[in-house]
Amino acid sequence: MKSPSLQDIMAKVEALEGEIRLYRSVVEVIQEPFFILDRKGGFLKANPKGMETLGYPWEDLRKMVFTDVVALEELSRVSEGLGEMKQGQRIRLKTLLVSRRGEPIPAELFGTVREESVFISLIDLRERIEAEEEWERSKKALTEKIRERNQYARELQALKDLYREKVREIERMKEDAVLLSYVDDLTGIYNHRFFIQQLTLEVERQKRYPSPLCLLMMDIDYFKHYNDTNGHLAGDQALKGISILIRHAVRQTDIVARYGGEEFSAILINTVREGAREIAERIRRNVAETRFPNEKAQPGRDLTISIGVSAYSPSVSSITDLIREADNALYLAKKRGRNRVEG
């Protein structure tokens, strides 16, 4: 085989130098970090962006191989990639480089081989990673804000619920207070105050919507004798028992109250006199037929009740008139022997 002449060798050298000059001019204008390596990985060329990224001047890089700027934990993978390129393959991999000052540089590496040179381009991932981290921080901050907002909304709703519950509780307390102000402590039926208030309302109603209205005034016969004989505790129990008997004898729409002492009253709404007398008689009979402790010591050997009835009419059209007429009937029942209904 004929050996190449000196002229042939010089022609090849000139062609190679021309190709290198072309590579160098192209390399200069590439915006991403770009390097040309020899087959052994030594730096043949680095563009300004490449030197800026790694932090090495060209005087230093030309004495180094590419693996000198690869992080220790990535050496094996990058060396394997360089080996694949030498076999004609293109590679693309994410790796970690190290700058001159020892700063880590996450990067995406693209590599290919052209004749005797290895071309490496990099995408510096620091800004992307920083942007992703900033996005994650923003997302985390937003998530936290949403969590705080939801927590605030839950706490606000809990406060609103608590407030509403407290309002309801206060309303119940008010209702209880009003009810207590209208209820007799001993018997649990309405007291004199509520009786007067309701009788006033019913009398006023008659002026607009006339309807039958009657009133019962009731008094336990010889109650003082029962109290003195058996004691106040027994007397209190008798008052409670008789109040229950009265409530059971009237209708739900009627109003039963303790008028005072051993006296009771009942407002019978939409009731004519005959109906009122029937209710009064039922009350009288229930009391007379109920056995009370030691009632045999009573003058009539029973604990009984006398009842007076009054009815609303043109001549009996005020609270005073109704109470006075019922009281007069009650006095008549007492006068005629007690344990009876008059009016």
Distance between CA atoms of residues 64 and 103, nearest Å:
18
H or E stretch at 96: strand 91-98
Per-residue tokens: 187: 């018997």
Among 4, 32, 15, 7, residue whose Cα is nearest residue 116: 15
Active site residue 262: yes
Per-residue tokens: 280: 């009064």
Q: Which of 202, 262, 325, 342 is catalytic?
A: 262
Distance between CA atoms of residues 266 and 55, nearest Å:
107
Q: Are 257 and 184 in contact (CB under 8 A)?
A: yes
Q: Are 298 and 226 in contact (CB under 8 A)?
A: yes
C-alpha 288: how far from chain center: 59
- Please give the C-alpha separations between residue 202 and each of 28, 171, 180, in angstroms, as whole numbers: 108, 27, 22
Among 244, 186, 242, 251, residue whose Cα is nearest residue 218: 242
Q: Which residue has the tokens 């180094």?
A: 64
Distance between CA atoms of residues 132 and 37, nearest Å:
32
Q: Which residue has the tokens 């981290």?
A: 133
Per-residue tokens: 129: 């990673």
Residues with catalytic function: 262
